Amino acid sequence: MPRNLKDTLKEIQILLGKPHKRIAGAFKYYLSFLNVKESSEKNEDAAPKEEKIQAVNHGKITWVDVKNPTRKEISELAQKYPFHPLHLEDCVSKSQFPKIEQNDEDRYIFILLRFPSLNISDQSISMNQLCFFLGHNYLVTIHENENSVISKIFEDCKDNEDRRKAYIGNSSSHLLYTIIEQLTEGLSPLLRSILTEVDLVEDIVFDDKVSGVYQVGQLRRKIISLRRVIGPLRALLADMSARVTKFSKSNLSVYYTDITHRVDRTWETLEEARETVDIYKDADFTINTEKTNTILSVLTIIFTLSIPATIVGTFYGMNILLPGGIEGGSWTFFGTYTTLIIIMILATIPALLMYLYFRKKGWF
């Protein structure tokens, strides 16, 4: 049965114990966000092509999975569960910071995580925002990517009763552990991809015929993106262990500690990769600088050796009388090209002497 605006305001009034008028003013924004309509209004929205909210049950535990939520789906969740409007708003907002917040009054935990995923086609890394509402007998997951790990686990629970029992167990906390454990396992392909690129960059950097500036920059960008996600995740998992266990009959601290150790190892691997890539960056800079210096040295030597010929040519290009010049008459005692031969000798001897001096100094 659809709920009208008056009923919604009355429930909020009872919940917070505020006067009706103050409730109407304070929650005007959230009511419009949740898309609550009067019963007399007609909903002209077309029926969705696919069911975005799906549920699966095992014993007393209910798992509700929401894919690509809109405000309509968020409004439905608000009617079924005692979720705070700010938590619901975070679910549809993009690029939220990871957080874990506990609502003691309504007895649920809100968890917002960001997990990286590897695109096999172009080997790029994308970030996915995941939201969890954990209660004593339910777990609500909200995510965007339909091909995510959560969707695969949910389909397994729907189709296979044994898998459902294994994943959900006897508590919603165990189901949350199963999902996060699968998500952290997905970090392994990312690390393998990063380490493979590190090896490739090493070959490129120490090849003096190829520039590795672009490859080093792209790899550093990937590592920085992963560190931005893994860093907050480490702190969040450490805080999550104690809070989530309260919603389970059995102690799950050991399981969550294992996940924390896996994420810590991921962080350490990223730190090693970052330090290695920084070394490669410095090495590439040094190699390119040395290559540039070598080129400049060769060009400088060539220019220096040509100075004597330039000076001699400059004198004979002046409009003055010079021995062997056109005005004074060319020398011919060695033949027709006597003047040219003597000028070439005068230019070559100083250049040869400079060459021998440079070699003695070890400049090249």
Flag whether 124 is in a domain: yes
Flag whether 293 is in a domain: no
- Specify whether 318 is located in the same domain as 197: no
Domain endpoint, select from 234, 254, 286 = 286
Q: How many domains are there within the chain?
A: 3
Tokens 């590190």 belong to 198
pLDDT number for residue 5 = 55
Least confident of 139-148, 317-326, 347-356: 317-326
Domain endpoint, select from 254, 286, 318 = 286
- Specify whether 343 is located in the same domain as 243: no
In this model, does residue 241 exceed pLDDT 90? no
Contact in structure between 61 and 139 (CB atoms under 8 Å): yes
Average pLDDT of span 262-276? 91
Domain endpoint, select from 286, 314, 343 = 286
- Specify whether 266 is located in the same domain as 342: no
Flag whether 301 is in a domain: no
pLDDT number for residue 306 = 85
- Specify whether 249 is located in the same domain as 317: no
Q: Residue 262: give its domain's CATH number.
A: 3.30.460.20
Flag whether 296 is in a domain: no
Least confident of 37-51, 90-104, 150-164, 180-194: 37-51
Flag whether 37 is in a domain: yes
Flag whether 298 is in a domain: no
pLDDT tens, 137-178?
899 999 887 657 888 888 888 888 888 888 887 788 888 988
pLDDT band for position 127 (cuts 50, 70, 90): confident
Average pLDDT of span 110-124? 80
What whole-number percentage of the chain has pLDDT above 70?
A: 81
pLDDT number for residue 211 = 78
DSSP label at residue 323: T
Strands (E), 92-245: 99-103, 108-119, 124-134, 138-143
- Specify whether 39 is located in the same domain as 147: no
Flag whether 300 is in a domain: no
- Specify whether 264 is located in the same domain as 318: no
Residue 349: domain span: 306-361
- Specify whether 223 is located in the same domain as 339: no
pLDDT number for residue 50 = 59
pTM, to two decimals: 0.68
pLDDT tens, 42-68?
444 444 455 788 888 888 889 999 988
pLDDT tens, 288-311?
888 888 888 888 888 888 888 888
pLDDT number for residue 275 = 92
pLDDT number for residue 64 = 92
362 or 37, higher pLDDT: 362
- Given strand 53-58, what is the order of strands in its sheet? 53-58, 61-67, 138-143, 124-134, 108-119, 99-103
pLDDT number for residue 141 = 93
Least confident of 143-157, 319-333, 338-352: 319-333
- Specify whether 17 is located in the same domain as 145: no
Flag whether 151 is in a domain: yes
In this model, does residue 351 exceed pLDDT 80? yes
- Specify whether 248 is located in the same domain as 210: yes
One-letter-per-residue 3-state SS of the chain:
CCCCHHHHHHHHHHHHCCCHHHHHHHCHHHHHHCCCCCCCCCCCCCCCCCCCEEEEEECCEEEEEEECCCHHHHHHHHHHCCCCHHHHHHHHCCCCCCEEEEECCCCEEEEEEEEEEEECCCCEEEEEEEEEEECCCEEEEEECCCCCHHHHHHHHHHHCHHHHHHHHCCCHHHHHHHHHHHHHHCHHHHHHHHHHHHHHHHHHHCCCCCCCHHHHHHHHHHHHHHHHHHHHHHHHHHHHHHHHHCCCCCCCHHHHHHHHHHHHHHHHHHHHHHHHHHHHHHHHHHHHHHHHHHHHHHHHHHHHHCHHHHHHHHHHCCCCCCCCCCCCCCCCECECCHHHHHHHHHHHHHHHHHHHHHHHHCCC
- Specify whether 93 is located in the same domain as 153: yes
Average pLDDT of span 31-42? 44
Collapsing DSSP states into helix, strand and coil, what is residue 310? helix
pLDDT number for residue 102 = 86
- Specify whether 144 is located in the same domain as 84: yes
Least confident of 60-69, 142-151, 209-218, 312-321: 312-321
- Specify whether 326 is located in the same domain as 195: no
